[in-house]
Structure 1
Amino acid sequence: MKFPIRAAIYSTALLGTTACTSVWAAWPNDKPIELVVGFSAGGETDVLARTLAPFMQKHLSDTANIVVVNKPGASGAIANAYVQRASKDGYTVAMVNTPPMNFMPLVQSTPYDPDQFALIGRVVSDPTLLVVRDDSPYKTLKELVAAVKAKPESVSIGQNGLGSNGGVALNILMLESGASFTEVPFAGTGQSKVALMGGHVDMIFASHTAVPNPAGEQKKLRILGQFVEERAPMLPNVPTAKEEGFDVVVPSDRGLAVDKGVPTDVRDKLQAALEAALKDPGFLEAAKSFSAILAYKPGPAWQKDIDDAKAPLTKLAAELKQNGRAPAQ
């Protein structure tokens, strides 16, 4: 009688394994995949996600369905936490933004852990720019810093919050250069551009997508410097901060990530679909408005960039805490 019982147990276990395998085999076809965006509908990150989604699903399978879900608030923290708390089955994918994703946990408690994300791939890298009105007396970043060191807080700079690329770039610039600017926070680049053109601030930090044609704005603008590793292809005549002697590299990157608990084979399929989508002629046509900042990198290479950027961010976080400028917990 022992053998039949053992056989029955083995058969039950095998059936359970087979059922589990069939569930995994159904991915990504048995329910929609949520692509979670940490910002409101209509913003730059949301538009990118909605442009990308149909081409991602096309290259996953004939019946895959990707829906964009907006979870705005707290510099993306609400969306990041939502993704990390979801089932680890590959049906919840984050559109993550750096530097907010990896900087905010250094200055305050966040409901997510950036180290718990497995990056799928970077989609865009948007240069961070220091933008002035065309009639500004400052012609170079080096000249600007020298003037402000001689007369602290004499120049006001608008930025979109401490965790934004502009907020981080401004604070690292002050830390590295010793110049003390007057920070003016805004809720978005639309507001800060209006303030700049109206003469309410002297200059602003903004991503390239927010000022693709500075000279064509209602009030002519000019780019004083770009805060990236090397000159962006579309800005060949604008020096980087590093060229001016200030080691400040803070691009605004956006891409896909999942929780590390998601199986490796699912992650690999997502990365393959992302890479194929970004080469798809249909996507390239749909993405013309931001084609200049498309900059695919597979997850591991993007993770290395983030790891390399950790030292200056950690240094900045320590300085902000020491001076009581870190956000409340």
Structure 2
Amino acid sequence: MIRTVFHAATLSLCAAALFPSTAAAETTLPPTVTMVVGSAAGGGFDKYGRLTAKYLKQYLPGQPSIVVQNMPGAGGIKSLTWLYNTAEKDGKHFALISAASAFAPLIVDRPIPYDPPKFTYLISLNKLNNMLLVWHTTPFHRADQIFKQEMILGNSSGPSAIIPAMMNRLVGTKFKVIGGYKGTNNMALAIENGEVQGSINYEWDSITGSRTDWLNNKKIRIIMQMTMEPVNDPLLKGIPFIGSYVTDPESRDILEILLAKQKLGRPFMGPPGMAPDAVATYRTALTKTVKDPTFLRAAEASRISINPVSGEELTVFMKRIYSIPESTIRKMREEIKLAEKGIVKRKDKGKGKGKGKKKSDVPG
């Protein structure tokens, strides 16, 4: 096995450096607090939320009861709308949300009832780093080939399918995007049986965790890091990153918006104007949680990756993303509409014709 999902001891030391102790005053929270998870029960976000709730309690002053409440809807927009307009600001309510929904006001060409930079960012449990991978039997070995030869990529619907389609327009890649795969397991089967040649839907920690057999047995090749900056991992040394191919400032801003949900990852957030002492309390407790060896071992056993980003860093990042000029946002939306026309919808090979589900604005 190339490596585990993460090394608990190493991560604990890194977290200590990333999250210095804060001098801000802390407070005792209400006896019961509610953690809203912006997705359905049983999914990946739900696993992160419930595991964190189990270990977070001991680090909160007074050890309040933590009630986990699922609030799925509209790809996370429902839970963020609640957090923005309804949640108590005294620390009684906080949320784990789908990162894509935090960028809906930029992507979706209609009013969204919240202003993401105004949220209170507490921590992200896991910064994501997606990779462009291909199956070993394909003719692709180097990044330069994707600018010369068509590559057939499988993708889920929504933002992840838009990214490779937008790469064709931004940097001149030759991706043929097949959208509509339901989950990475179905996509893995499509890659393995040759239905598609590769995908950008796999995050590096998932590849080195749940898909280690692909790496160990050299079943895949990593062609490019789908990131703005290179990932600091020896296994990725020499693998180019997409950010290095975009030099035009406007195109670079567009790419950064499209990839922004990777930085936000799996964030815990509070409502706008959350009481400063409650903010300090949650940030301190969550930082202690992600350094807790017992929590890290439990996360590893559950195949949950932990690659944290501080609330302070997320706050700066969100303000920067939302300061991108409106003219660039309009250009991006126009380009997305054009890029969507090039995405081929995968034909459902299932039996029968069931009733279709309502499409969310920002699928996870």
Decide which of 304, 316, 319 is 1:304's aligned counterpart: 316
The letter of the residue matching 1:136 is T
Superposed, 1:163-182 pairs within 5 Å as 163=159, 166-167=160-161, 169-182=163-176
Structure 2: distance between partners of 1:292 and 1:230: 22
Q: How many residues in Structure 1 have an aligned counterpart in Structure 2?
A: 296
The letter of the residue matching 1:294 is I
Residue of structure 1 equivalent to 2:287 = 275
Compute the TM-score of the two structures, normalised by the length of structure 2.
0.70
Residue of structure 2 equivalent to 1:115 = 117
Question: What root-mean-square deviation, in Å, do the aligned CA atoms of Structure 1 and Structure 2 show?
Answer: 3.3
Conserved 8 A contact 1:209-1:290: no
Structure 2: distance between partners of 1:235 and 1:50: 31
Over residues 170-205 of structure 1, what are the superposed CA-to-partner deviations in whole Å (9 max), with x where a residue is unaligned?
Answer: 244223212353322323222222222222222112
Specify whether residues 177 and 243 from structure 1 end up closer, same or farther in structure 2 by C-alpha distance, changes over 3 A only.
Answer: closer
Over residues 122-176 of structure 1, what are the superposed CA-to-partner deviations in whole Å (9 max), with x where a residue is unaligned?
Answer: 221121111211111111222112223xxxxxx322222323xx33532442232
Residue of structure 1 equivalent to 2:14 = none
Q: Which has the larger radius of gyration?
A: 1
Over residues 79-109 of structure 1, what are the superposed CA-to-partner deviations in whole Å (9 max), with x where a residue is unaligned?
Answer: 2122222233322212133344214543243
Specify whether residues 129 and 301 from structure 1 end up closer, same or farther in structure 2 by C-alpha distance, changes over 3 A only.
Answer: same
Structure 1: distance between partners of 2:267 and 2:133: 25
Conserved 8 A contact 1:94-1:256: yes
Residue of structure 2 equivalent to 1:75 = 75
Residue of structure 2 equivalent to 1:96 = 97
User: Are 1:226 and 2:225 an aligned pair?
Assistant: yes
Q: Which has a greater percent of strand? A: 1
Structure 1: distance between partners of 2:132 and 2:48: 23
Structure 1: distance between partners of 2:51 and 2:238: 29
Structure 2: distance between partners of 1:245 and 1:129: 15
Specify whether residues 281 and 222 from structure 1 end up closer, same or farther in structure 2 by C-alpha distance, changes over 3 A only.
Answer: same
Q: Which runs of 5+ in 2 are unaligned?
A: 1-25, 247-251, 342-358
SS in 1 for 2:235: coil
Residue of structure 2 equivalent to 1:192 = 187
SS in 1 for 2:224: strand
Identity across aligned pairs (percent)?
Answer: 22
Conserved 8 A contact 1:226-1:238: no
Structure 2: distance between partners of 1:26 and 1:278: 20
Conserved 8 A contact 2:60-2:281: yes
Structure 2: distance between partners of 1:113 and 1:132: 38
The letter of the residue matching 1:216 is D
Compute the TM-score of the two structures, normalised by the length of structure 1.
0.77
Over residues 199-251 of structure 1, what are the superposed CA-to-partner deviations in whole Å (9 max), with x where a residue is unaligned?
Answer: 22221122234433546149933322222212242633361324763465633
Q: Which runs of 5+ in 1 are unaligned?
A: 1-24, 149-154
Superposed, 1:50-69 pairs within 5 Å as 50-69=50-69
Superposed, 1:135-214 pairs within 5 Å as 135-148=137-150, 155-163=151-159, 166-167=160-161, 169-183=163-177, 184-205=179-200, 206-212=202-208, 214=211
Conserved 8 A contact 2:133-2:224: yes
The letter of the residue matching 1:37 is V
